[in-house]
Amino acid sequence: MNNEVLENAAASRFELAVGDEMAVAYYRHEDGRYVLTHTEVPQALSGQGIGTRLAQGVFKILGERNARIIAKCPFMSAFAVKHPEFNAMVDG
């Protein structure tokens, strides 16, 4: 299993490949911030912590960029609430 989250800027999403499946977190740029809009984890990977690994990777990548985040996606918003170490990155 590849645990590395990668950005696919052309598709405006972050990706986590797991076997033949792909978990993704979509974003858009707005006023210099990353707006996390939607997260998808294939049903076959449900309940395995893949969404959490994806979120950790996204926040790590964006943290290294000192990026500001707006978490419109309910999953990413809940992840940010549960992980206060990322609070300084999140707007609104």
Domain-by-domain residue ranges, the chain? 5-89
Three-class DSSP labels, 59-90:
HHHHHHCCCCEEECCHHHHHHHHHCHHHHHHE
pTM: 0.93
Query: For residue range 39-85, what is the model confidence (pLDDT) as tens digits?
Result: 999 999 999 999 999 999 999 999 999 999 999 999 999 999 999 99
Q: Which fold has domain 5-89?
A: Aminopeptidase (3.40.630)
Residue 39 CA: distances (Å) to CA of 58, 72: 11, 10
Could you tell me which residue, 92 or 69, shows the higher pLDDT?
A: 69
Kindly report the CA angle at 5 between 69 and 92, in degrees rounded to 5? Answer: 10
59 touches 80 (CB < 8 A)? yes
Q: Residue 62: how many CB atoms within 10 A of its CB? A: 21
| The pLDDT value given to residue 41 | 96
